Amino acid sequence: MKLFVGLGNPGSKYAGNRHNIGFMAMDRIADAHGFAPWRSKFQGDITEGRIGQEKLVLLKPATFMNLSGQSVGEAMRFYKMALGDLVVFHDELDLAPGKLRLKQGGGHAGHNGLRSIHAHAGPDYARVRLGIGHPGHKDRVSAYVLSDFAKSDHDWLEALLQGIADGAGALAKGDGAGFSNKVAQHTTPQRTTPQRKGPPQTSPADAARKPQPAKHAPLPQDQPQDPPAADTRSPLQRLMDRFK
């Protein structure tokens, strides 16, 4: 059994925020695979279900982002889970919008939700980093993550969430590469193989209209010449003929 945790802030006010992309991922997995209705538990909202043979618990902490670890730690203790069973989905400023990366362990890089989980459970858990892009300056980060996705973000966001839902079963089995491939099938533009250009094709009608080379009359053949007649003069006569 695995515990998938999506990070975000509770309440309709924050539902469309960039910071809530982790919640969005949990909702899409639950809807796509027919999980049980969400219910309140562990200071958050949870649901359970199966994808193939893999049992999953999905959790959306309701403690606000900077206290997410309280909810995560409580759920892990109840299910007697180790850190190897935990996968956290969160927004990532350092990835371009729509990009996804898996990471095992490491620091929290200033993310308040990860910082809280570190404090309550430890750092050695898997993360699914969901790229939302960066506003360009650190002073704009707070307003940026707490604002809603723009209409122009709809297409890549939809593709990313659908890829996560399709690949969730692979991730639950520990197949990170298979999960990433499923996501890439939705988020990576398909490359088309250029058609090789051959010689131009000529239609019969074009061929009929095409000027044909002029026909020339055959060149005359050299006619055989008669062999010269034999000289029957005597040597004396030939000598005399030279002085005429």
Residues recognised as catalytic:
19
Dihedral angle sign, alpha carbons of residues 109, 113, 114, 115: positive
Dihedral angle sign, alpha carbons of residues 96, 101, 107, 111: positive
Q: What is the chain's length? A: 244
Burial 31-51 (b: 16+ CB within 10 A, else e): eebebeebeebbbbbbbeeeb
* Structural tokens at position 81: 């889970």
Per the CB < 8 A criterion, the answer to whether 157 and 148 are in contact is no
Dihedral angle sign, alpha carbons of residues 168, 170, 173, 178: negative
Whole-angstrom distance, CA of residue 111 vs CA of residue 166: 27
